[in-house]
Amino acid sequence: MEASVTQKTQALEQKMNSVLRQLSVPLVAVWSPNPNQQIHGEIKGEFLLIYDESESEAWQTFTHEIVEWKLSGLTGVYRTIINALIEALEKTIYVKKEELIEFLPKLFEAVKENR
């Protein structure tokens, strides 16, 4: 029985890895059925790990993870832009804050002199 499970796992992995090679996706599919996992699958480094027990669910998770992997390239661009914007804003705010810190003693002194 154990040999047939291993053969079934290897056969599915071979098919999935064939799809990955066909699409030039630099990942290795690993089907590791685990009913105790809280997630269906994930990408860790170069591995696409699938935890579903049934083959049909494993293929759905495989497809989902590949789409998510492909989309991460798009969202990475936004993340780069947002991080650059945050950095620019932080620099601008720092300069304005320093100007305010230098201005406040002058304000207090001017008010004190004219009371």
Digit-coded pLDDT (tens) for 34-82? 999 999 999 999 999 999 999 999 999 999 999 999 998 888 888 899 9
CA gap 15, 18 in Å, rounded: 5
88 pLDDT band, cuts 50/70/90, is very high
Give the count of domains, the chain. Answer: 1
Give the range with max mean pLDDT: 1-5, 7-11, 15-19: 15-19
Average pLDDT over residues 16-33: 97
Element (H, E) at 92: helix 55-113
Beta carbons within 8 Å of 46's beta carbon, 6+ residues apart: 26, 27, 28
For residue 48, give its domain range: 2-113
pTM over 0.95: no
Instruction: List the strands of the sheet with 28-31, edge to edge.
Output: 28-31, 47-50, 41-44
Strands of 1-115 (E only): list them: 28-31, 41-44, 47-50
Average pLDDT over residues 5-33: 95
Cα angle at 96 between 109 and 103, to 5 degrees? Answer: 5
**CA 7 to mean position of chain CA atoms:** 32
